Structure 1
Amino acid sequence: MIVDMQDRAGMSQSWQALLAHGDAMCGKHLADIFAADSRRFKRLTRECGPLVLDISKQRIEEQTLGYLMDVAREQRLDSWIARLFGGERVNDSEGRAAMHWALRLPVGAECDVDGVDVAAQVHAELDRMEAIVNQIRAGQWRGATGEVVTDVINIGVGGSDLGPLMMTEALTDSRKQTASPLRVHFASTMDGSQLSQLLRRVSAHSTLFVISSKSFSTIDTLSNAETARHWLQRELGNREGLLDCHFVAVSSAVAKMTEWGVAEQNQMKLWDWVGGRYSLWSTIGLPIALSIGMDGFRELLAGAHEMDEHFKSAPWLENLPVLMGMVGVWNTNVLGINAHAILPYDGRMKELPNYLEQLEMESNGKSVTRSGEKVQWATCPIVWGNVGPNAQHAFYQLLHQGTEAVTCDFIMPARRYLEKRHNAAAPELVAQHELALANCLAQSRLLALGDAALVDAESMPAEKRYRGNQPSSTLLLDELTPRSMGALIALYEHKVFVQSVIWDINPFDQWGVEMGKKIAVDTLARLRGAECGATDGSTAGLVERILRG
C-alpha cells in the first residue's frame, strides 16, 4: 500500500479516493473485465509518432485513470514538467538542472539558461563529433603506423556503456556501409576480462579507443584505459603521437582528459547537467554514430525530441509517459506489485532490459524524499527482464504459475525484414518475425486472462491451470529504427520522471552508488598488504584467504 500505516485519515483526498477505488478493484479479474467491455482495447490504447501503447491488459478501468490524474495534479506534476524543461535545478541534492532533453533539440532551436545558449553548445559538440565520425567512417583515421582504423573499443561503465551498447545492438539493421571495415566493441568490467578478450582479437596498428567518463575519474574506466595504453606501448613502442592516433575521449572534465594525454582535438565535451544514464544522446553516443552514421544519429535525436514535445504538451489522458508512469504508481502503491519485467520480442533489443534496469532503479531506487525525510511508501520496483523468446524458457514459469505478482512491458516492432538486404531469405525471415509476434501476443493474453484464454480449462489438473490477472502493457513500434528507438527511450526517461514526482524523490542523483566505491579503496590497500583500520570479520577473513592463495 501507499503508506506504512493502516489509518488513511491523514492522507489527502485524492489518495484516499484512489485507495478506495483500489479496494473495489482488487477482487476483479482481467478476464471478467475484458468480457464485460468489448471496446476496452480502443478505450485504453494511445499513440505517439511511431509508438502504440496498449494498457488494456493492466488491472485498471477508465475511471482509474481519473483517480490517478487527480493524484498527479495534487503532486503538481504540471509544475515539475515545466521546471524540468525550463532548465531549473530539479536535481536539488547536487544543485543542477537535468537537461538531457536539450541534447535532442533541433538545429535552430533556442534554449537560454542563465544567459547561456545551451542549444548552440550542444550542436557545436555534435558538429565536432560528426567530424570525427566522418573521418573514421571514411577510412581516413589512421593509427600511429599508418594503418586505417578498423576497430573501435569504447571504454566506459554505467551510462557510458549501457546506453551506447544497447542502442548500437538495437540498430544493427540501420548500420550504414563504411569505406573500410569498421567494428565497434565495448569494454566496461573493472576486472579487465572484456578488454583482455578484445585485445586478443584486434590489431594495435588499427584500433582506436574511446574513453567515455563524465568525471574522468571512474576507477573502472581509467583502469581499462591504462591497460589499453600500456598494451599499445608494448605492441607499437612508445612512439611520438601514439596517444593522438589511438585515443579519443568524452568527458566534462577537460583538464583531466588533457592530463591523461588525450589531445585537445580528440576531446568531446559533456556538461554537468547531463546524467550518465541520460547521456547516450550526447557525444557519449559516439559508438552509436560510428555504427549508424550521423544522419542516423540525428534521426535518433529527432525521435526522442518528438516524445519530449508530446510529454510537454499532450493532455495527460493522451500522454504516453504520464500514463505509463501513473499506471506504474498504481501497480506499485495500490496493487502492491514490486517486480517489473521488460520483455522485448526482438533479439536486437537484447540489451534493453539491462539499460532500463539502470535507468529506473538508479533513478528511483530511493528511500528519502526531496526534503530529506524517510519515505513512507514504496518507490521503484525491481526491474529485470530478457528477450521474450529466451525468457519464455527461463522465468515465464514464475510469471504464469508462481506465487509472485509481476507487471510486464511487452515490446515489439510490428514490421521487419522489409529492407532490400533481406530479400534473399525474406519469406523465411518474415515467417520467423510473425512467430515472435504471435508468441508475444499469446503470452500477454495468457498472463492477463489465465484459464479464460484456454479451452476446457476446468477439466485440467491443478498443475496445468493458469491464474492470470498478471497486468502488462504492450508497446508496439512501427519498425525498429533510430526514430522509433529514440522515442521509446525518451518515453521511459519521462515515465521515470513522472513517478519521481509522485514519490517526491530526486531521480537525478545516485548517492547510493558512491560509498561502496570509496570503501573499495581501503579494501584494495588491504589486498595489497597495507595495514588499514578496523573492518568486519567477514571481510578480514576473506582478504586473509585470498592472500594465502
Structure 2
Amino acid sequence: MLNATGSQTWQTLQSHATTPPDLNTLFKSNPTRGQTFTAAACDIYMDFSKQAMNDEILRDLLKLANEFDLSNKINDLLTGQKVNDTENRPALHTALRLPKGETLMVDGVDVNAQVHDSLAKCEMIVNRLRSKIWRGYSGKAITDVVNIGVGGSDLGPLMATTALDEWADSEISVHFVSNMDGTQLHSLLGVLNPQTTVFIISSKSFGTTDTLANAETALAWLLSAHDHKPTILHRHFIGVSTRPDKMTVWGIHPDNQLLLWEWVGGRFSMWSAIGLAIAVKIGMGHFYDLLAGANAMDRHFASADFGENLPVLLGLIGVWNATFLGINAHSVLPYDGRLKFFPNYLTQLEMESNGKSVARNGATVNYKTCPILWGDIGSNAQHAFYQLLHQGTQAVSCDFITPINRYDGTQIHDKSLENQHKLSLANCLAQSQVLAFGNNALPDNLKNSNDKFSQFKQYRGNQPSTTLLLTALTPKTLGSLIALYEHKVFVMSVIWQINPFDQWGVEVGKVMANSVFEVLNGGVGEFDGSTNELLKVIGGKNV
C-alpha cells in the first residue's frame, strides 16, 4: 500500500497548504473562476469556485487521486471486489440500484437477479398495503405503517420519505421509531389504532437491542387488543433482515420476510428492502425513480473524467479542507425544508464511514481524516449557528444545497410561494458570499460603516463552501444527490487509505451496554469508579 505522506504529491499539497490562497485574491485574479470551477451531472450543478484552491492545487489533487489508484478502486467497488477487507466482503450498495436485466456476477451468483427478486416481493407488499388488500386482525384496511429501526434502518428512510412527501399518493401514514428509551413509540401508541397498524422491523442482524426492544413493546400493545398471537404476527408485522432464521423464531411469517445481504452496509441500505417505508409512502414507481437517480450517479462516477466527476471533486475538496488545511468542521446547509433530515443522514454516512484513525494496513494514520459534520435547514441555521460561521474563531467548510425550481403554479397561492422560494435562493447565495469574501461582500454603506460598534461588525470571510444546485427536488434527483455523497465518502477513504465500510467503534458500545444492562437487571459486574457510583445512584443506594 502506498505510504500516503511519503507521496511527493502529498508533500506538495502540504506545501500549498502552508500559505493557502485567499478567496478574495483568487476571484480578483480570475474573474471567470465562477464558470471554470464547476461541474454538472444528473441534474446537479456544482460550484466549487469558493473553495480555497487554485488551478495548481486542483491539478495536484487530481494527480493525487491517480497516484492512489482511484480509478481502479472505483472499479473494485462497483464490480463486487472485497473492498471491505476487515470483514472480507464487498460493499455492493450500488448493485441495489442496477436496472433489471443487467448481470453482476459475484462469487458465481448473479447479484442483480437476487436484488430484483427482493424488489418484486417489496412491490407485492407495497401494492397490497396501498390498495387496501392487506387487512389487520379485525378485517379493517391498514391506515398506518411504523418503521422500527435504528441508524441506517431509520435515518435513510426517514430522510427520504420527508424529502419526497409531495409524491405521497396514499392514505397510509408512515411513522418512524428508533429511540431505545421508548419515547417515540409511547407517543405513537397513544394515537394509533391496533386494528389498522403494521410494523416493519428493520434490522440487518435481527439482533439490534434498540430495534427489538421497540418491536417487543409493539407486539405487547397489539396483543393487549387481540390475544391471538399468530394472527397478530401474520397481519401486523413485516421483517427486513439478513437472518430469516431469527425472523422466523421471533414470529415473522415467511410471507412477510424481506431479505438483505451481508454486503449491504446499514448506512447504505435504504435502496434495498430497508426502503420499504419509502415505497409505501410514495409508491414503487417513484421508488424505482429514486433508484434510477442513484444509478445515474453511479454511472457518472464510473465513467466521467476526474476533472468533471462530481463525487471525485467533492471528495478531493473534502480531503483538501480536512487533511491539508486542517478544517475539521463541516456543515451541510440545505435551503429547502424538505431536506431537513439530510444533514442528519450525512452525519452517519460520513462520520461512521470515515471516522477512523487506522489505515487498511493496520497502521495508525498520522493525518486528519473525517471532519465533524453537522447541519440544518439553511434558513433556520442562519438564526442559530451562522454567527459562529461568520465571526467565530473556528474554520468551517460548508455545502449549500438548493433546488433551482420549486412550485409549479397550479395552486392559487403558488405565486406567493414562488416568491418565498426566490427569497430562499437569495439567502443561500448571499450567505455563501459573505462566508467567502467577508467584509468585501458587503454593500458600501455597510462596508464603510464607522459607528461606535463597527468593530463588532467585521466579517473575516475566507470560509470555503461548495454550492449544489438541483434542477428540482424529485425522487430521481434525490437519488443522485444521496449517491453523490456516498461516493464522496469512498473517494476520501481511498486517499486516507481507510476502510469506510466497517464500524468497530459502533460495535464496542453495544457490547459494553449489554454488560451494564445485566447489572441493572440484578446481575453482578464491576466497572470504573464513575460507572459503579452512577449505578448505585440509579439503584437508589447513594442519593
Provide the TM-score with structure 1 as the length reference. Answer: 0.96
What is residue 65 of structure 2 aligned with on the other side?
A: 72
Any idea what the Cα deviations from partners look like across 1:388-409, whole Å, max 9, x if unmatched?
Answer: 0110011000000000000000
What is residue 539 of structure 1 aligned with on the other side?
A: 531
Shift of 1:528: 2.1
What is residue 163 of structure 2 aligned with on the other side?
A: 170
What is residue 524 of structure 1 aligned with on the other side?
A: 517
What is residue 16 of structure 1 aligned with on the other side?
A: 11
Which ranges of structure 2 fall in alignment gaps of 5 or more residues? none
Q: Give the letter aligned to residue 431 of structure 2.
A: Q
Matching of residue 438 in structure 1 with residue 426 in structure 2: yes
Q: Distance in 2 between matches of 1:547 and 1:16?
A: 56
Q: Give the 5 Å matches for 1:10-409.
A: 11-24=6-19, 26=20, 28-176=21-169, 178=170, 181-409=171-399
Q: Distance in 1 between matches of 2:18 and 2:503?
A: 35
SS at match of 1:241: helix
Q: Distance in 2 between matches of 1:544 and 1:204?
A: 39
Q: Distance in 1 between matches of 2:15 and 2:524?
A: 60
Q: Distance in 1 between matches of 2:23 and 2:204?
A: 46
Give the counterpart of 1:463 among 434, 456, 465: 456
Q: Distance in 2 between matches of 1:240 and 1:73?
A: 58
Any idea what the Cα deviations from partners look like across 1:477-500, whole Å, max 9, x if unmatched?
Answer: 011100000000000000000000
Shift of 1:413: 0.6
Q: Give the letter aligned to residue 51 of structure 1.
A: I
Q: Give the letter aligned to residue 242 of structure 1.
A: I
- 8 Å contact 1:142–1:149 — kept in the other structure? yes
Q: Distance in 1 between matches of 2:428 and 2:42?
A: 22
Q: Distance in 2 between matches of 1:222 and 1:239?
A: 17
Any idea what the Cα deviations from partners look like across 1:91-139, whole Å, max 9, x if unmatched?
Answer: 0000010000000000111111111010110001000000000110111
Q: Distance in 1 between matches of 2:12 and 2:416?
A: 53
SS at match of 1:201: coil
Shift of 1:20: 2.1
- 8 Å contact 1:43–1:62 — kept in the other structure? no
Which ranges of structure 1 fall in alignment gaps of 5 or more residues? none
Q: Distance in 1 between matches of 2:82 and 2:412?
A: 54
Return structure 1 stretches of 4+ with deviation > 6 angstroms. none
Shift of 1:23: 3.0
- 8 Å contact 2:80–2:106 — kept in the other structure? yes
Q: Distance in 2 between matches of 1:18 and 1:125?
A: 46
Q: Distance in 2 between matches of 1:372 and 1:394?
A: 41
- 8 Å contact 2:409–2:415 — kept in the other structure? no
What value does the CA root-mean-square deviation take over the aligned residues?
1.3
Any idea what the Cα deviations from partners look like across 1:52-95, whole Å, max 9, x if unmatched?
Answer: 11101111112221100111111111121111112110000000
What is residue 508 of structure 2 aligned with on the other side?
A: 515
SS at match of 2:77: helix
Any idea what the Cα deviations from partners look like across 1:138-169, whole Å, max 9, x if unmatched?
Answer: 11111011011000000000000000000000
- 8 Å contact 1:304–1:488 — kept in the other structure? yes
Q: Distance in 2 between matches of 1:470 and 1:462?
A: 19
Number of residue equivalences:
534
Matching of residue 487 in structure 1 with residue 475 in structure 2: no
Provide the TM-score with structure 2 as the length reference. Answer: 0.97
Shift of 1:287: 0.7
Shift of 1:251: 0.4
